[in-house]
Amino acid sequence: MAEASQKEAVAGGAVDRFFQITERGSTFGTEIRGGLVTFVTMAYIVILNPIILSGKPDVAGNILDFGQVSAVTALAAGVMTILFGLISRLPFAFAAGLGINAFLAFSVVQEVTWPEAMAIVIINGLLIVLLAATGLRRMIFDAVPVQLKLAITVGIGFFIAFIGFVNSGFVDATGQSSPPVGLGPAGVGFIGTVPTLIFVVTLVLTGILVAKKVKGGILIGLVSGTVIAVIVEAIWKIGPKFGADGAVNPGGWSLTEPVLGGNPFAVPDLGLIGAVSFDFGKVGLVTVIMLVFTLLFTNFFDAMGTMTGLSREAGLADEKGNFPRIKSALVVEGVGAVVGGGTSSSSTTVFIESGAGIGEGARTGLANVVTGLVFLLAMFFTPLTEVVPTEVAAAALVIVGAMMMSQISNIDLGDFRVLLPVFLTAAVMPLSYSIANGIGAGFVSWVLVHAFTGKAKQVHWLLWIVSVGFVIFFARGPIETLLGV
């Protein structure tokens, strides 16, 4: 017995040293809780990604199967999350990037087939790996002023909270030009559904637990909200918002219905792995270049911004915004795009929902290993991932958004040359539903305001180049028209 305990202690010490758990002020229990919380807040991607990608005909009329996309989504998320945790040893989980998957489904496959679209994702990933391996991506990262890095964190906080409000039905589009959004379904001005009410209850409960510094507060809030949702559904039979017959139930659960029962086990169909084609003979080279350029810019800066925000929230960034093993982190993130394309699950990238696990105390890659393993298990237990309703998970996103917003206190806003870019960065992210757009608005405005107020020499030359790239990125529609793409 004594010998076994000694071996266990040695093994635990090796794991502790490898992940720097004690060094970063964390514990094994905290990392496990953090990893579970991150999974719970991200589990919706196993359902949402196939909703976005499957059933959308490409230029040849081909579609992706829902079940297959769900399986490879969980597989890619699990593999990349574990890989990132082991190599970069940071608590940043990976999954199919939102925005990128929509770009593929609603834009790219209007020009190419699904296998060709996934090949474009792979090309994008290889370019990101090249930029990271050569140090150029790190150089761009270092060229960003610390005020903008902090603004990115604040903007992501607002963005996460806005995602939570929208996913819960607390905020919705009005369908009018003004105001474009409002409180409740269709912006009617009041909470109109039971699922949204449960979001509010979960948000308040979790907020109280976090304010009282209860260990596991976010996880307790998520579990409690899920239990309440299961009971409510069992009693009132609310049902899903979108029925199998296409019928719409405005008061239903949005993506996942909290129902227990049935067979929780399902054998995953991984038939989409390797369904890639680099034969772009039917489309012009200019079209392929523009598609790769758009995807590269979105992927590149979304990930960079997310890592910046998460590292600061975790207390792992220095005064310049740099965090441990930054080069390997940037390289592995590019590999995520390659893996996502190779599995037809869209580009797999760092997820802002990782902030929920960080808010729970996760500080190391061990939390990633936990999250990744649960994702791999989710391939076989997809029905269980549907028990936690989106409305409950959304409450954790709002809590984390509030935590990240606190970074604004570290920015000196006395100089309007700083204030305007910071404001645009933080405001454009949630309003345009894109981290990359917010970063671009901040970069371009920073360069222009400093250049025309006699401070051009204070702007790093790389920031000039990147800002020009963002101008092209923002104007790509008219450019494509002029080029006849």
Confidence at residue 280, expressed as pLDDT on a 0 to 100 scale: 86
Residue 240's DSSP bridge partners are 253
Any idea what the Cα angle at residue 94 is, between residues 138 and 309, rounded to 5°? Answer: 50
Residue percentage of the chain with pLDDT more than 90: 48
Higher pLDDT, 94 or 214: 94
Residue-wise DSSP of 196-261:
HHHHHHHHHHHHHHHHTT-TTHHHHHHHHHHHHHHHHHHHH---BSB-TTS-B-TTSBSS------
Most confident of 8-22, 189-203, 243-257, 381-395: 189-203
pLDDT digits (tens, 9 = 90+) for 28-72: 999 999 999 999 888 878 877 887 788 789 999 999 988 899 899
pLDDT digits (tens, 9 = 90+) for 174-193: 988 888 999 988 888 888 89
The two three-digit tokens of residue 396, written as one number? 């954790």
80: burial class by Cβ within 10 Å (0-12, 13-18, 19+)? buried
pLDDT band at 384 (very low <50, low <70, confident <90, very high): low
61: alpha, beta or left? (left if phi > 0; alpha if psi -120 to 50): left
Is 127 in contact with 292 (CB distance < 8 Å)? yes
Burial 112-138, CB ≥16 within 10 A → b, else e: bbbbbbbbbbbbbbebbbebbeeeebb
- The mean pLDDT of 418-435, rounded to a whole number, is 92
Higher pLDDT, 75 or 318: 75
Residue labelled with tokens 């060094």: 23
Any idea what the Cα angle at residue 386 is, between residues 52 and 435, rounded to 5°? Answer: 45
How far is Cα 396 from Cα 406, in angstroms, rounded to an integer? 16
125 to each of 34, 230, 238, 395, how far by Cα in Å? 28, 40, 42, 32
State in Å, rounded, how far the first CA of the chain is from the last one: 72
6 has pLDDT over 60: no
pLDDT digits (tens, 9 = 90+) for 289-341: 878 887 887 788 788 888 988 998 899 988 777 888 989 999 999 999 999 99
Higher pLDDT, 143 or 338: 338
pLDDT band at 112 (very low <50, low <70, confident <90, very high): very high
How far is Cα 193 from Cα 482, in angstroms, rounded to an integer? 47
255: burial class by Cβ within 10 Å (0-12, 13-18, 19+)? middle
Mean of the per-residue pLDDT values of the chain: 88
Confidence at residue 336, expressed as pLDDT on a 0 to 100 scale: 96
How far is Cα 294 from Cα 302, in angstroms, rounded to an integer? 12
How far is Cα 57 from Cα 64, in angstroms, rounded to an integer? 8
Give the single-character DSSP code of 349.
E
Residue-wise DSSP of 274-337:
T------TTS-HHHHHHHHHHHHHHHHHHHHHHHHHHHHHTT---TTS--TTHHHHHHHHHHHH
CB atoms within 10 A of CB 389: 31
Q: Which residues, other chains included, contact 92 with Cβ-Cβ below 8 Å and sequence gap of 6+? A: 84, 306, 307, 310, 329, 350, 351, 354, 368
- 3-state percent breakdown (helix, strand, coil) of the chain, nearest 5: 65, 5, 30
- The phi, psi pair for 94, rounded to 5°, reads -120, 150
Q: Give the H or E element holding residue 183.
A: strand 181-183
Burial 258-282, CB ≥16 within 10 A → b, else e: bbeeeeeeeebeeebeebbeeebee
